[in-house]
A and B are shown apart, each in its own frame.
Chain A
Amino acid sequence: MSAMVPMVNVAALKDTTLLNMGIFALFVLVTMVIVFRASRNNKTAADYYAAGRSFTGSQNGTAIAGDYLSAASFLGITGAIAVNGYDGFLYSIGFLVAWLVALLLVAELLRNTGKFTMADVLSFRLRQRPVRIAAALSTLAVCFFYLLAQMAGAGSLISLLLGISDWGGQALVIVVVGALMIMYVLIGGMKGTTWVQIIKAVLLICGAAVMTLWVLSIYGFNLSNLLGAAADTAKNPNVLNPGLQYGKTETSKLDFLSLGMALVLGTAALPHVLMRFYTVPTAKEARKSVVWSIWLIGLFYLFTLVLGYGAAALVGADTIKSAPGGVNSAAPLLAFHLGGPLLLGFISAVAFATILAVVAGLTITAAASFAHDIYANVISKGKADAGTEVKVARRTVVVIGVLAILGGIFANGQNVAFLVALAFAVAASANLPTIVYSLFWKKFTTQGATWSMYGGLSAAIILIALSPVVSGAKTSMIQGANFAVFPLSNPGIVSIPLAFLLGWLGTVLDKRREDTAKQAEMEVRSLTGVGAEKSVNH
């Protein structure tokens, strides 16, 4: 039996291209039908942006998991564990623990005070225009980084799964993925996007569960045996210990701390995650959503631990690294080793669906932020009717879709998990301090908010531009130049404390006082849910 051969024949993967495409086409067909059916009731802005606030906590929780478990989580973390051992596991812990920030400090209070976007909450008791513009800009920046990561992932994934290795072919597939995504979001709005995410989350978690049980059964359901086999294949017992990737130098250790900080503080500030809390009718359902997603995401990351070490043991780090798609190919190669072409086809289709669903969620968030915050509230000063606003949102979807396609083609081949970590760093620096201050600090002012948001955003982006990510290293985006004066590849450790500091400083130096009645209203609303947006009944 060829499945018993320990080495995976990468060349044999090409024979499965048609099967992969078939399974993916089936997924697209089924979800399109669902999106069309779901879109029938898309009438108002609340329908388009927030799915009429009609999803239940468990549905929304599953969709959040679908949104959050991006290609970076599934392919990136499995690959990181397979190649770097324990250090890959550290990513998943940061990604999971971060949900406690969302659960305890943000989700319910945000649901009670906002309408559609993050800026609704941040500008509630401060001066509308400056805060809204700042919040919308940072929303767009985070979405852009995250989108770039997903589209770049699509390119490298395709080279492995569809056997398309030339640049033009990959670009074509990125265009197809982008066009499909634009259709989902245009037609389905938030409701269609949510259903795509729910279906994808169920498929992804089930697929990962089957593979996990399969790997464990090979080792007699003994984790210790699996770890031993991984260390044997790698011929290096250190894959079980921390430090393989980040322990090399003092700088890399500091870099890891910076990454850990960005991961744990970034999640609760990701605009596309925050927007999902508006799709449920009450704060209690928002709480249920987070609880549900914590269980699903936690379970999934436990699976990736087994899958990563399983790939290390059964496929081997060297085979993974030399395969097209590199580190990201660990999970698909493991699927091929276990279940042959059929399981590979299924896992590949799920990985595609993942990219599609996450990109759709990001696009609708960015479009809502532009149409609702910048167009409706700043450009037309609240005088635009909801119909025009939704029209603007739909046009924005097309613009963002095209930008994502171009960005994806340009960023093709960049490290996926890494770009996502940068998006987390930008979110944690630009958004989190202002979210926390405006929910919990009575004296917080407009100046504090704008200093913190612009300061955090620009610090994060400038530090990334001056880091080894962009220049001066073998893996940099720009080769042959070196302006990397900042040694760390993740800016979080500097930019996050700086943004907190600026928020405080801007507030204490502000001569203007904010409206205390508005502060009272926000506090009472956030804790009691009085006057919160209700669900739309059709």
Chain B
Amino acid sequence: MGNEAQTPDAAASVDFQEVQQTGQFQELRKRHRSFVFPMAIAFLLWYFAYVLLADYAVGFMSTKLWGNINVGLVLGLLQFVSTFGITAWYVHYSNRRLDPIAAEIRNEIEGHEFDKGSAVRGAAK
């Protein structure tokens, strides 16, 4: 009856393909991928742009901005800023947009709504 005794093996009776086809799960996957893929591409492009500049545009990177602070140092520190920023953004996004829907699906599965052979929800096992 209760869910306390849930063990990893309890998931063995679940029809995961059925879960995978539900609109709710499709939505979760879409939300996850539409955030992490563009973000991963963006930060990798920004990182490699920085590496290429440091490698092949030494003159530009050595341009002094104020005092002894040059473009290279500022861009390097901006890599730190963007890393911290993306981290905070992702946490905010997943707390709001991913975790609630993931918890909902998990509760339904653990409530045996997707067990194999139970075409009717709540049918006796």
What's the Cα separation between A451 and B16 when bound, in Å? 28
Q: A246-B55, A298-B84, A531-B10 are in contact. Are A231 and B79 (CB under 8 A)?
A: no
Q: A231-B68, A264-B47, A527-B32 are in contact. Are A520 and B55 (CB under 8 A)?
A: no
Query: Binary interface profile of A, 386-399, with partner B (CB < 8 Å = 1, else 0)?
Result: 00000000000000
CB of A89 within 8 A of CB of B36, answer: no
What's the Cα separation between A29 and B35 when bound, in Å? 47
What's the Cα separation between A243 and B52 when bound, in Å? 11
What's the Cα separation between A302 and B106 when bound, in Å? 40
* A-side interface size class: 35 or more
What's the Cα separation between A310 and B33 when bound, in Å? 43
A28 beta carbon closer than 8 Å to chain B:
no
B83 beta carbon closer than 8 Å to chain A:
yes
Contacts of A242 in B (CB 8 A): 54-55, 58, 61-62, 72
Of A37-45, A94-102, A318-326, the stretch lying at the interface with chain B is A94-102
A188 beta carbon closer than 8 Å to chain B:
no
A173 beta carbon closer than 8 Å to chain B:
no
Query: Binary interface profile of A, 233-251, with partner B (CB < 8 Å = 1, else 0)?
Result: 0000010111100110000
CB of A291 within 8 A of CB of B69, answer: no
- Chain B's nearest CB lies how many Å from the CB of A492? 12
Nearest to A295 among chain B residues (CB) is B84
Contacts of A85-125 to chain B: CB distance below 8 A: 86, 89-90, 93-94, 96-97, 99-101, 103-105
A517 beta carbon closer than 8 Å to chain B:
yes
What's the Cα separation between A195 and B96 when bound, in Å? 32
B34 beta carbon closer than 8 Å to chain A:
no
**Secondary structure of the A contact surface, majority rule:** helix
What's the Cα separation between A8 and B20 when bound, in Å? 66
CB of B72 within 8 A of CB of A86, answer: yes
Of B16, B17, B52, B91, the contact of A287 (CB 8 Å cutoff): B91
What's the Cα separation between A257 and B6 when bound, in Å? 49
CB of A517 within 8 A of CB of B83, answer: no
Contacts of B69 in A (CB 8 A): 223-224, 227
Q: A228-B68, A284-B99 are in contact. Are A97 and B83 (CB under 8 A)?
A: yes
Q: A104-B36, A257-B55, A260-B51 are in contact. Are A227 and B79 (CB under 8 A)?
A: no
CB of A527 within 8 A of CB of B68, answer: no
Of A97, A222, A257, A528, the contact of B79 (CB 8 Å cutoff): A97
Contacts of A516 in B (CB 8 A): 17
Q: A97-B43, A257-B55, A517-B16 are in contact. Are A301 and B80 (CB under 8 A)?
A: yes
A216 beta carbon closer than 8 Å to chain B:
no
Contacts of A223 in B (CB 8 A): 68-69
Of A228, A440, A530, the contact of B105 (CB 8 Å cutoff): A530
What's the Cα separation between A240 and B6 when bound, in Å? 58
CB of A530 within 8 A of CB of B106, answer: yes
Contacts of A482-519 to chain B: CB distance below 8 A: 516-517
- Chain A's nearest CB lies how many Å from the CB of B20? 4
B76 beta carbon closer than 8 Å to chain A:
yes
Contacts of A224 in B (CB 8 A): 66-69
Contacts of B109 in A (CB 8 A): 524, 528, 530
> Ordered nearest first, which 10 A-B pairs have the shortest CB separation?
A224-B67, A531-B11, A227-B68, A241-B62, A521-B16, A242-B54, A520-B16, A260-B51, A520-B20, A520-B17
Q: List 29 A-B contacts (CB under 8 A).
A: A86-B72, A89-B73, A97-B47, A100-B83, A100-B87, A104-B35, A104-B36, A105-B36, A227-B69, A240-B72, A241-B58, A241-B61, A241-B72, A253-B56, A256-B54, A260-B47, A260-B48, A291-B87, A291-B91, A302-B80, A517-B17, A520-B17, A523-B20, A527-B32, A528-B106, A529-B106, A531-B10, A531-B11, A532-B8
Residues of A in contact with B (beta carbons under 8 Å apart)? 86, 89-90, 93-94, 96-97, 99-101, 103-105, 222-225, 227-228, 231, 238, 240-243, 246-247, 253, 256-257, 260-261, 264, 284, 287, 290-291, 294-295, 298, 301-302, 440, 516-517, 520-521, 523-525, 527-534
* A86-B73, A224-B67, A242-B55 given; 12 more Cβ-contact pairs under 8 Å: A93-B47, A100-B87, A238-B62, A240-B73, A241-B62, A256-B51, A260-B47, A260-B48, A298-B84, A527-B29, A528-B25, A530-B14
Residues of B in contact with A (beta carbons under 8 Å apart)? 6-8, 10-11, 14, 16-17, 19-20, 25, 28-29, 32-33, 35-36, 39-40, 43-44, 47-48, 50-52, 54-56, 58, 61-62, 66-70, 72-73, 76, 79-80, 83-84, 86-87, 90-91, 94, 99, 102, 105-106, 109-110
